[in-house]
Chain A
Amino acid sequence: MATAAHSGKNYLNEKSGLWSWLTSLDHKRIGIMYMISVMIFFAIGGTFAMLLRWELFGAGPTIMNAHQYNQTMTFHGAIMVFMVIIPGIPAFLGNFILPLHLGAKDVAFPRVNLMSWYCLMVGSAIAFWSLFYHGSDTGWTFYTPYSVTTQNGTIWLVFGAFIIGFSSILTGLNFIVTTHKLRAPGMSFWRMPLFVWALYSTALLQVLATPVLAITLLLLAMERLLGIGVFDPNLGGDPVLFQHFFWFYSHPAVYIMILPAMGVVSEIITAFSHKTIFGYKAIALSSVGIAAVSFFVWGHHMFVSGQSEIAGIIFSFITMLVGVPTAIKCFNWVATLYRGSVRFDSPLLFALGFLFLFTIGGVTGIILATVGIDVHFHDTYFVVAHFHYVMVGGTLMAIMGGIYYWFPKMFGKLVNEFWARLSFVFIFIGFNVTFFPQFVLGAMGMPRRYFDYLPEYEPLNRISSFGAWTIGVGFLIGLGVIIHGLLRGKPAGPNPWGAKTLEWTTASPPPHENFLVQPVVTAGPYEYR
């Protein structure tokens, strides 16, 4: 810690002992607690992904039966969505970076912040109990009527997701108030880093969409306990209403997952091109634009649910609209790279990987938004490949890039650049080997969610499984890089990347109150050249 603050004290060594962490109100410590929990959840969810690909390695039962496959798929989906990708960037990187980016000492409500971590822990514990003890098998979407009739512990998984939802709401609420009320003197909205814009847009979604999930899950629980008949056609209800409610949350939730990733990529690309970001306002406003449009596209999950044709066509058009702000971002990132002094360090590699994979994921999203084509592709592996390109190729690439980018700030140490780049190579190649064949399989008509398939799908599935294990190796290398960096990393200094945002003006790791002297902002966030 050669570069610690004057007193030698920073947020890591100011207090010691497990209890001081579990009761800490410091946003940086809470961010690290999120980091550890999300990494553990990711390891569990990833293990299930490996098992799924093992089962699909050959036609017929390979290592599990159909029922176990359904459970494994539920485990993988529920853990990855609710416990990894949704809290991943906002609650972990966002918690750590947002106050630093704003020049604030902490988030607006530190105790609420800690509470939201405990909500995630309690909700996850309940969800895990439901998964492992009862063997929930509904998939992460809890579609009725199956979720009402299956005997496998749906109610606890629903309850767990309900509590995790509170974690998300509280984080979002905290970020909104922090962004409005705790900006450093001189930091106008147009001087905020783009990561803050992305987190702010995400927070709006968390606050506005998650309560609808809460009431949906509450009604689902009531349906199971009391048979209230809101979703049960035998009692006068309508199962499609569940889908409407569910996707009214879960489509914006997709942007809860991707918007902060876009923010991370904006930061990395401008820092590693060493050039003022191109189109700052366009990128900032497109985050808000995506957030706004995301509330009006949920029907594209339901093209074959029996909703009216006119509704399908309207949803189709609005869905394609999402491509506009997204493309604005992509073009601006590329324009930033153009004639920049580009440094190909590991964070930038992941950002470029994001750009490549996310573009494929986004363009196939436009394909799926076309009603007529979607009727063919619906519930095939084409959809699986599409959303993995966005969620894994987008969000997880950004998380990895963000970890490597901010690791020196978090722990005051540098990671081993060679191994960090190697983890990128494995993840990037493995990812394409896994999911590109799935586009082909989907186009050939292979349906998703089945534990078995016709023999002609076998070769491509085999390739896909090999790819999945390559990704697994890549993430294990990444874990090794992080652990090695913690134990043996060289001192980083306050600003190893020569970046311009406020977090790099303070010591690494930062002192308890972030800045020894309150920063005063006099210019935009990316004053390179």
Chain B
Amino acid sequence: MSTVSSSQHNNGHHHAHHFESAEAEYHASKFGTWTFLVTEILMFGGLFVGYILYHERYPQMFHAGSTFLDWRLGALNTVVLLFSSLTMALSIYYAQMNDKRKVLINLYITLACGFVFMIVKAFEYTSKFSHGLFPGKYFNPHEPHAIQLHQQFPDLAQYFSFYFTMTGLHGSHVLVGMGLIGWLIYRAHKGEFHSGYYTPVECVGLFWHLVDLIWIYLFPLLYLVG
């Protein structure tokens, strides 16, 4: 912290005026991103606490609810997201290696994985909706198995409330992540990322891994309980 100059050059990247070096800016950005991730965890934490509480109160109802979900689709999405985390990490690695082509390939694959995840999710949602399995007061099942379970567990709608709220909030994060990756692709095409400057790739990567991690908890809680 002893040398101070406000417009140093570091591999061609101009850092903001109030940082002493590009490296200081990189560390600050990463620290800020981690702090932001903490807020995300706490926000999802509220949902997880609610889930645990009601699961404790109505374990059989939650089990009955989970029978409507197809664990194979959930597992598929888990694999897709895990794979996308790998490609995301690789894109950072190749940015550090100054390999623009491979950065782009990996970012495109990551984005594609996001699409696959959302398409699978859309199929799952529409199949629930077509059977009247809506959240909350709109819950109106019309196939015999569901009607019977609903009679057995009058609060069955609550399971779907949790299912849709948790996966909905998670899905919106996937969409935001895809938007951010699209922005990275745009900047990568312009050749902005190299070994001296890859902060945005790394920060979006951190966010993407968190979104992935949350799904890794949602999958067993919603699909595999009981």
Contacts and interface: CB of A to CB of B under 8 A. Distances in A.
Interface of A: 99, 104-110, 112, 169, 173-174, 176-177, 180-182, 185, 207-212, 214-216, 218-219, 222-223, 226-230, 235-238, 241, 245, 513, 518
A228 B161 contact: yes
B131 interface: no
A169 B39 contact: yes
B136 A229 contact: yes
Interface in B50-72: 50, 53-54, 57-58, 61
Given A219-B165, A229-B157, A513-B6, A236 B137 contact: no
Contact of B53 (A209, A241, A513): A241
Contacts, number: 125
Nearest to A107: B18
Interface size class of B (residues with CB under 8 A): 35 or more
Interface in B1-55: 1-2, 4, 6, 16-19, 24, 27-29, 31-32, 35-36, 38-40, 42-47, 50, 53-54
Contact of B17 (A177, A207, A211, A513): A513
A104 B18 contact: yes
B210 to A, nearest CB: 13
A174 B28 CA distance: 10
Given A177-B31, A229-B161, 7 more contacts: A110-B16, A174-B32, A208-B42, A218-B165, A226-B135, A229-B157, A236-B154
Given A108-B28, A177-B32, A182-B28, A216 B161 contact: no
Contacts of A218: 165, 169
Contacts of B135: 222, 226, 228
7 contacts: A169-B39, A207-B35, A211-B45, A223-B136, A228-B165, A235-B155, A236-B58
B43 A181 contact: no
Given A207-B39, A211-B43, A513-B18, A236 B158 contact: yes
A228 B61 CA distance: 15
Interface string B112-137: 00000000000000000000001111
B47 A208 contact: no
Contacts of B50: 219, 230, 241
Most buried by A among B2, B36, B44, B169: B36
A176 B32 CA distance: 8
Given A229-B155, A235-B137, A222 B161 contact: yes
Contact of B18 (A182, A226, A236): A182
A180 B31 contact: yes
Given A177-B31, A219-B46, A230 B138 contact: no
Contacts of A112: 32
Interface string B209-226: 000000000000000000
A112 B40 CA distance: 17
By Cβ-Cβ distance, the 4 closest A-B pairs, closest first, are A236-B155, A227-B137, A215-B46, A228-B161
Interface in B136-184: 136-138, 154-155, 157-158, 161-162, 165, 169
A222 B46 contact: no
Most buried by A among B42, B53, B154: B42
The dominant DSSP class at the B interface is: helix
Nearest to B156: A236
B5 to A, nearest CB: 9
A108 B158 CA distance: 43
Interface of B: 1-2, 4, 6, 16-19, 24, 27-29, 31-32, 35-36, 38-40, 42-47, 50, 53-54, 57-58, 61, 134-138, 154-155, 157-158, 161-162, 165, 169
Contacts of A223: 136
A363 to B, nearest CB: 32
Contact of B42 (A211, A236, A237, A513): A211
A14 to B, nearest CB: 13
B31 A181 contact: yes
A185 B18 CA distance: 14
A39 B6 CA distance: 35
A45 B38 CA distance: 33
A227 B54 contact: no
A105 B18 contact: yes
B43 A212 contact: yes
B1 to A, nearest CB: 4
A376 B187 CA distance: 63
A27 B221 CA distance: 44
Contacts of A181: 24, 27-28, 31
Most buried by B among A112, A173, A238: A173
Contacts of B136: 222-223, 226-229, 235
Given A105-B17, A245-B46, A207 B38 contact: yes
A110 to B, nearest CB: 7
Contacts of A180: 28, 31
A210 B41 CA distance: 12
B4 to A, nearest CB: 5
B207 to A, nearest CB: 14
A226 to B, nearest CB: 4
Contacts of A513: 6, 17-18
A214 B43 CA distance: 7
A105 B16 CA distance: 11
A228 B32 CA distance: 34
A216 B157 CA distance: 19
A431 B1 CA distance: 48
Nearest to B153: A236
Contact of B28 (A177, A212, A230, A241): A177
B27 A212 contact: no
B36 A173 contact: yes
A368 B29 CA distance: 43
Nearest to B137: A227
A223 B36 CA distance: 27
Contacts of A235: 136-137, 155, 157-158
B43 to A, nearest CB: 4
Contacts of B161: 222, 226, 228-230
B184 to A, nearest CB: 18
Given A105-B18, A241-B50, A241-B53, A210 B24 contact: no
A518 B1 CA distance: 11
